[in-house]
Structure 1
Amino acid sequence: MLEIILIVFAMAVLIVLALASKQPNQFQVTRSASIAAPPASVFAQVNDLQNWEAWSPWAKLDPNAKNSFSGPQAGVGANMSWAGNNKVGEGSMTIVESRPYDLIRFRLDFLKPFKASSIAEFTFKADGGNTILVWSMSGKNNFIGKVMSLIMNCDKMVGGQWEQGLSAIKAIVEAGG
């Protein structure tokens, strides 16, 4: 009986490994929102990392998370580090490119619950009297990430939080914040 259990277990592991190896080497998550404000107003909410607490979906997941800031308050070199509960983890983000009213690019370094690095971007496009704000993240999908993608959908999980964040930015900016 033990032999049968071990054989079934080994086969299950091999199937999971085979399925994981077929997953993409890269991942990307993207969400967008139309905001009734000029790009400069929307850009200011994202480019100043100290504004993030007002709209970040992760600030609501752990109001007791510890955030620290270094470098300039806004623009290239601005850095925010966080340490929170198991819902927000621990890590840092640094603005590596900031083109006023057009693009902000971040390097994200996650430490907990697992180590990973990725690139996130916000783009701002004028559309009549509105701004189309696009939030995206991309990175390498290592083997652990490929296995995890078999049991959870990162796009749906993170995308839902981004939709909350974009809605919060929209509400703040459209209220004149």
Structure 2
Amino acid sequence: MADINRVRLRGQLIENYDGLVRKLTRRLGSSDFAYEALHETFVRLDRVTDSVTVRSPADYIFRTAINIAKDRQKAQNHRVSVAEIDALLDISDEGPDPARVAEARSEIEGFKRALAALPARPREVLHSVAVEGVPAQAVAERLQVSLRTVENDLKMALQHCADCLDHPLKRRLGGPRLRS
């Protein structure tokens, strides 16, 4: 007979089914896990050939069912739910896309060129007031010019940069507040 192991193992499983369910339920903590493991075990017994030596069919079936149950528990612990996948897909990337990065780099380069084209004093005024946040009066004192000159240099520098970048210069309500 060519399928001796398969016939022996299936017969053992059918004969001792109720006892195996009780034993597996105690070991696994759930009769549902026990039934599922035995069902899968029955299916897997079709793959057992006579080349495998089975000394104790009952132990072989029990060990196979335990291994199946452990594998299922591991798989269950590593599964991601549909809700978790949906939540991950809804996460937006708040970083700029490559096109915006390239556009920003181009703007920065354009701004650097516009600054380089400015005369020294208006460039210094723009940097001091707009970048460093130095009050216009302090810039006027440092450069030994009038406050009006600092205001005019700042306006000229801002207008020049806006023109070079092809951006309209937006004026805040009430005009610029340069005095401090």
Q: TM-score, normalised by structure 1?
A: 0.22
Q: Which structure ranks higher in relative contact order (CA pairs < 8 Å, sequence separation ≥ 6)?
A: 1
Higher fraction of helix: 2
Higher fraction of strand: 1
Pair member with larger Rg: 2
